[in-house]
Amino acid sequence: MKLVRVAVFFMVGLFLSQSAWCSGLAEKDVQGFIASMQELKPYFDQFAEETEDDGDLTSTSRVISDWAQGLRERSDVEAIIGKHGFDFDSWAAVSQQVTQAYMALKLGKDGQDVMGQMQQSIAEIEGNTEIPAEYKTQMIAQMQTSMAEMEKMIQSSPEDQSTVQPFVPELDAIFEMQE
């Protein structure tokens, strides 16, 4: 469940962001993100407890989407992110950048290894004559979707990663990442 939380917060940025990227991160952006997430985390935890989330990616995506929509409608949330220097759209964009840089730092070479392993699995599925064609197509499509999500997670500019690096311990606490 701890690693699912990392994916959860990563995907929040993807669901909320109207623009794919904003300009490079500044230290104050990361600090504002951390401060706002420390205040917003209880909102997510409460929502996740009240919502049926069985922990798979599809369920978690639905929960995040619903949570994100609910955040937009809450004036107290707007006040929280406003006090840290954001409007909703800028917070969403910064959230995405910070989370991607964090994931790139945390996964690093392991993320590239996972991508290679996933590609190898696709090749093995394609070459397996015992798997019916219908299932093979579904399995490959699922693997490709997972690879695309993983690739998004580990893509981040070196500048953003450099900006985020000093804040990794604080972000670990937010994302509940365990080594």
Tens digit of each residue's pLDDT (9 = 90 or more) over 125-141 = 899 999 998 998 999 99
Output the average pLDDT for the chain. 76
In a domain? residue 28: yes
Does the structure show a pLDDT above 70 at 1? no
In a domain? residue 114: no
Least confident of 21-25, 64-68, 124-128: 64-68
In a domain? residue 65: yes
Cα angle: 35, vertex 41, 43; to 5 degrees: 125
- To the question of pTM greater than 0.85 for the whole model, the response is no
**pLDDT value of position 83:** 93
Which carries the bigger pLDDT value, residue 100 or residue 29? Answer: 29
In a domain? residue 124: no
In a domain? residue 127: no
Backbone angles phi, psi at 24, to 5 degrees: -55, 150
CA 12 to chain centre: 6
In a domain? residue 90: yes
User: Which one-letter DSSP state was computed for residue 155?
Assistant: -
Which carries the bigger pLDDT value, residue 66 or residue 42? Answer: 42
Instruction: Assess contact for 13 and 95: CB atoms under 8 A.
Output: yes
In a domain? residue 41: yes
Q: Which amino acid type is present at position 174?
A: I
Which carries the bigger pLDDT value, residue 77 or residue 167? Answer: 167
- Structural domain boundaries, residue 84: 2-107+157-175
> How many structural domains is the chain composed of?
1
Average pLDDT over residues 55-61: 47
Q: Which two tokens stand for residue 155?
A: 């893509």
In a domain? residue 34: yes
